[in-house]
Amino acid sequence: MAKNVLVLKHFESPKETGTYFRLVCLTGSSKGESYVLTGNRIVIGRGEKADIKINDTKTSREHAEITKVGSNWVATDLGSQNGIMVNDKKVTQAQLNEGDKLIVGQTVFKFAKVEVTAKAKTAKDDDEAPTGNSAKKTLIPMILLAGLFIYMIFGDEGKKYENSEKSKKGTSSSYQDVSGEYLDQLKKRQANEDKATKEKLNVIYQRGLREYREGNFYRAIAEFNLALSISPGDSYAEYYLSKTKERLDKTIEEFTIRGQRDEGSLKFKSAIVSYCSIIRLLYTVPTDKRHESAVKQIRDLETKMGMEPDETNCLKKSRTN
């Protein structure tokens, strides 16, 4: 993060003189933080590698990027599930103008320009600090400067936009300001990233489907959840995750009915086999009520058959695991 943004509070400004552009967070847990854009490409998201990391459940790991194109800054959606908005319009890409509101997920940023013309003077030591009229002369400009920064950031938050049509036209025309070369590079980079992600997801899908076919439902569930952590909202992973849970529930129900039927027919050994099958399916979640019920049924059958407690093989393995 330190390479691409400088994190300050909303009333602070960079120490060096010059012209800066920054994003000020207006909502969420990072409200009041100011991100001065020091790199040429800044990634916004909830992932650990994001330059501007935000705690927002509606935000993808790498949700959007702010890129410097010539003397302008361009906001681009990185294929996120919920997209981005500039002011009141959902966009894929748009140039940012001073005062624009950039919405990433549920987090609102304000794009602002800051001119730092002179650094505040600092006393050499406490004994040399100004007093009396001199102190007042130093203090008043500092108060005015602080008030100016606060007004620049939050002064217009309670107002609605004036000339909304003009704002919309400014947003749409910004597409023309983005160079064709930059767009070509962006498309190539996104295509490469999409290809790598798809290849990784395909490997995970194959592992999950193999576990599904072999009846290792909890392993399959873990694989499909992994796919969703990489690509939130992925329809393929969501579908097979749902199907796996349905198949697990149905299989457990079938073994339960079979065990109860055999127990009622005094086929205790066959009933134990069915209940053991339930235990094997739910070995990773021993607190599941169906797992606990199967253990109880087996122990009751062991008593009826004159066996030692937990003599059944699957109970021994379950206790060992």
Give the span between the Cα atoms of 239 and 227, in whole angstroms. Answer: 12
The pair of three-digit structure tokens given for residue 46, joined into one six-digit string: 């909830």
Query: How confident is the model over 86-143, as pLDDT tens digits?
Result: 988 889 899 999 999 999 988 999 999 988 887 544 333 343 344 445 445 555 556 6
How would you class 307 by CB atoms within 10 Å of its CB: exposed for 0-12, middle for 13-18, buried for 19 or more?
A: middle
Nearest to 244 by CA among 227, 268, 258, 232: 227
Lowest mean pLDDT among 61-70, 134-143, 150-159, 168-177: 168-177
Residue carrying structure tokens 């919309």: 168
**pLDDT greater at residue 197 or residue 209:** 209
Which secondary structure element, helix H or strand E, spans residue 67, and what is its range? strand 64-69
Sheet order of strands, 72-77 included: 52-53, 41-45, 64-69, 72-77, 93-96
284 pLDDT tier (thresholds 50, 70, 90): confident
pTM of the model: 0.40
What 237-246 contacts at long range (C-beta under 8 Å, 24+ apart), as own/partner pairs, is 237/201, 237/204, 237/205, 237/208, 240/205, 240/208, 240/209, 240/212, 243/212, 244/208, 244/212, 244/217, 244/220, 245/217, 245/221
Query: How confident is the model over 177-204, as pLDDT tens digits?
Result: 444 565 666 666 666 667 788 888 889 9
Give the span between the Cα atoms of 60 and 63, in whole angstroms. Answer: 5
Give the span between the Cα atoms of 228 and 234, in whole angstroms. Answer: 6
